[in-house]
Amino acid sequence: MTQNKAMTQAVTGNSRQPLLIRHLGRQPYQRVWDQMREFTDARSPDQTDELWLVEHDPVFTQGLAGKPEHVLNPGSIPIVQTDRGGQVTYHGPGQLVAYPLLDIDRRGLGVRCLVDRLEQAVIDLLTDRGIEGQRQDGAPGVYINGAKVASIGLKVRRGRTFHGLSMNVCMDLSPFSFINPCGFVDLEVTQLADHLKVGQNKSPSMIDAENWLCTSICQCLDYDAKKVKSFNRLAPELALP
């Protein structure tokens, strides 16, 4: 049995809502952002919610309220001004980005509730591996001993969400020193691989991380992983149906 099929079975429940999960591999940020907006604008009232999982090429993204002074020294890494909430953050290889494309009006979820459940999904993922994750007042995301391991920035348009959650898995963290992450001076960042215990995989694959996070998100948001569709990591286009 493949890992994706095992993950699908692990979160299946008759009372849960369907969810389509798309594994997009490594993609440029702009391409996926464009596709998210197109999907959100075109989706029908009864269309199944989706969760997109992706690694991005190195990029700094600014939220709507992003202040340029929080970008200290970007070097050759491009900066993209986005329409999500929050300040500047970094995306790059070894970081798992999860985009929940949800109709929260249909689900009866408020934005604050969705943020709480996404945070809880990461906290539960960490707990399952013997790691204590925490929230911090006024600073959305998940922290380990005060260092940020996951960030959240959402956009809601006509009751439908895009953008989402990033979790540092096993990556080069140095680009975070080129910015004030999420607008906080001297905020420390960390990654999952640095906190796994003896005997655990100290270099988890992105497939492992995707399966862990999918399972946790589906449980926290009462979804059934109805279908998993993987895309070739080298494909020049997403080719979404």
User: Which residues are identified as catalytic?
Assistant: 182
**Strand (E) or helix (H) holding 208:** helix 206-221
Residue 225 near residue 17, CB atoms below 8 Å = no
Q: Look at strands 59-62 and 89-91 and give their pairing.
A: antiparallel
Cα 14 to chain centroid distance, Å, stands at 26
The Cα–Cα gap between 201 and 221 comes to 27
The Cα–Cα gap between 10 and 161 comes to 25
Contacts of 205 (CB under 8 A, 6+ apart): none
What is each CA distance from 140 to 43, 58, 82, in whole angstroms?
28, 22, 18
Main-chain dihedrals φ then ψ at residue 113, nearest 5 degrees: -65, -45
Q: Which of 49, 51, 58 is nearest to 29 (CA)?
A: 58
